[in-house]
Amino acid sequence: MELTLVSSIFLFNNSLNYFVYSLNIHSFVNSRVCFIYKLNNHSMKNLNHLFLLLFILFFVACSQTPQRQAEKAAVSFSKAMYSLNLDEAKKYCTPDASKILSFIASNVKEEDLNILKDAKDLEVSVIESTMDPGDSTATVNLKISNYIQLNMMSGKSSIEKEKEEKVDLVKVNNKWLVDLHK
């Protein structure tokens, strides 16, 4: 990752140099070329540094930290799961967790979907998250509001106000996946 970043910065910097040089040479073909060249040699360095800085800032702003990625996966998973959109929720899960979702899906009734229709909007927000030192597992604590509490037995499911839930995630092929326990 770091190597790619350094290489792209290097390539970007070199091509920028070439572009600025050619621009200068072709724009000023008269006697002032030497002077401008000397002048620009100094300002071009500054300009290069500025572009480099802007590029790094852009890159950092656009890329998410692993922790943010884990939080995003946990929120997306929970939103899908508590909307009973279990196929969508499976996209954020490990294969084992997908099986658990299949078990939940087998217990979802038409009545549960009707309860969801009349419910207030589901809200999911991050309370806190922690990563393991190796950045391969993470735990995200979520606050979930207006969620459906499924009843798998004979009783009725209900909409509950609020709860906190801990979501465990593992990093598989550079992607954060929710790991559910039975």
> For another protein, which residue of 4, 30, 154, 174 counts as binding (CB under 8 A)?
154
> For another protein, which residue of 1, 95, 155, 164 counts as binding (CB under 8 A)?
155
Judged by CB under 8 A, does residue 4 bind another protein? no
Region from 5-13, 18-26, 99-107, 128-136 binding another protein, contact rule CB under 8 A: 99-107
Smallest gap from residue 94 Cβ to another protein (A): 12
> For another protein, which residue of 73, 80, 116, 150 counts as binding (CB under 8 A)?
150
> For another protein, which residue of 11, 56, 152, 172 counts as binding (CB under 8 A)?
152
Amino acid, single-letter form, for residue 127: I
Q: Which positions from 106 to 145 touch another protein by CB under 8 A, shown as an x/- string?
A: xx--------------------------------------
Q: By CB under 8 A, name the binding residues for another protein.
A: 99-100, 102-104, 106-107, 149-155, 180-182
